[in-house]
Amino acid sequence: MSDLASRVAMGAFRLLSHLPLRTLQAIGALAGRLIHARSARFRREFDRNLTSAIPGADAALIREAAAHSGRAMLELPWIWMRPRPAVVAGVVGVSGWEHVERLHASGRGVVLLTPHMGAFEIAARLIGSRIPITVLYRAPRQDWLRPLMEQGRDGDGVSLAAADGTGVRRLLRTIKDGGLVGILPDQVPANGEGMWADFFGRPAYTMTLAARLTSMAAGTVMVFAERLPAGRGFHLHFIEPEVPVEGDTAQRVEAINRNVEALVRRYPAQYIWGYKRYKCPPGVQRPAPVE
C-alpha cells in the first residue's frame, strides 16, 4: 500500500472511531453480509467452516454469522481509539470473574484463552483494568494498521508480548511470577510452533504454546466477550473449561480445542468463520488423510 493510501486508511479509521458503537456495528453487519454475498471464494470457505462444525446450520445462522464478522471489523476503531474508560464501560455485564480471582489468589499464573469470537479485542481491556495481563501479539500484515493496533491494545494494565522468542520468554516469566497471560488459542502458528490436532472434525495446525503455558499455571479460564444486540455493549464471560486441560502437551492441545469447540457451539453466530483456521503454514507438511 502506498504512503498516500496508508494515510487515507488511517484517517478513515480514526474518523470511524467517533461514530457510536451501535452505528459502527450496523454498518459492519451490512458490510459482512455484502462481502459474504458478493465474494464466492469467501462465502465458500465461510460456509464450509460453519456448516461442517455446526450440523444443521441454516441460512439464518449463516447470515447472522456473516453479520457478526462484519461487526467485529467495524467496531475495532471504537475499541482501539476511544478513551479507555469509555471502552471498559462498554462491557455492561461480567460473569464468572470469580474463577480468575480464585486462581490468581493462589500466587501462580493464570492462562486466559480467548478464541476468535465475539468482541475478543475488548476482553483484555476489561481484564487489564482489574488485574494486569500480558497478551500474545502478532503484528498485522498492513503496516499502516500496526501503530493503531499497538496503541489500541497496549497500556492501562495490558502489556503486549510479540509472537517471537522474546515475547514467549516474557509470557513464561509472567506465568512464573504469578501473573495473567492472554492468548487466542485458535490462532494458526508458524512452522515449528504447532501440531496438527482435530478441530470440529478436521485437522488444524494448532499452537503448542498455550498448552505449554497451562502446564505451568494454576489454571485455565475460557473468555468470551459476547456482543449484545442493537449496540448495547458487551457481556464478558469467564468460563471454567468443560474438558480438563491436563496431561502432556499433545493432550493439552486436544483439550484446548475441545473447550474452544464447546464455547463456539454455545454461540455459533459469533465465531469468525472466515478466519483461515485450517490453513497450512509455509514449510508445514499436511497430515496424511485418514482412510
231-269 per-position pLDDT tens digit = 999 999 999 999 999 999 999 999 999 999 999 999 999
Q: Quick one: pLDDT at residue 8?
A: 80
Q: Which amino acid is at 29?
A: A
Measured CA to CA, the distance from residue 175 to residue 158 in angstroms comes to: 15
**pLDDT bracket for residue 13 (50, 70, 90):** confident
Q: How many domains are there within the chain?
A: 1
Average pLDDT over residues 258-287: 95
Measured CA to CA, the distance from residue 33 to residue 59 in angstroms comes to: 12
For residue 119, the domain's CATH number is 3.40.1130
Helix (H, G, I), strand (E, B) or coil at 226: strand
Residue among 236, 223, 132, 238 nearest 184 (CA) = 223
Range of the domain at 71: 3-270
Q: Look at residue 119 and tell me if it is in a domain.
A: yes
Q: Which amino acid is at 25?
A: Q
Q: Quick one: pLDDT at residue 118?
A: 96
Q: Look at residue 285 and tell me if it is in a domain.
A: no
Q: Look at residue 162 and tell me if it is in a domain.
A: yes
Measured CA to CA, the distance from residue 127 to residue 133 in angstroms comes to: 7
Average pLDDT over residues 213-230: 97
Q: Quick one: pLDDT at residue 1?
A: 57
Q: Look at residue 287 and tell me if it is in a domain.
A: no
Task: Name the pTM for this structure.
Answer: 0.93
Q: Look at residue 282 and tell me if it is in a domain.
A: no
**pLDDT bracket for residue 290 (50, 70, 90):** low
Q: Look at residue 18 and tell me if it is in a domain.
A: yes
- Does 117 have pLDDT greater than 90? yes
Q: Quick one: pLDDT at residue 141?
A: 75
Q: Look at residue 286 and tell me if it is in a domain.
A: no
In the block, cell 467496531 appears at 75
- Residue 163 neighbours by CB under 8 Å, 6+ apart: 136, 137, 138, 139, 189, 190
Q: Quick one: pLDDT at residue 291?
A: 57
The grid coordinates of residue 177 equal 511470577
Q: Burial of 198 by CB count in 10 Å (0-12 exposed, 13-18 middle, 19+ buried)?
A: middle
Q: How many residues does the chain have?
A: 291
Pairing verdict, β 219-227 and 234-239? antiparallel
Q: Quick one: pLDDT at residue 2?
A: 64
127-177 per-position pLDDT tens digit = 999 999 999 988 777 777 777 787 778 778 999 998 888 999 999 999 999
Q: Which amino acid is at 50?
A: L
Q: Look at residue 284 and tell me if it is in a domain.
A: no
Measured CA to CA, the distance from residue 210 to residue 35 in angstroms comes to: 32
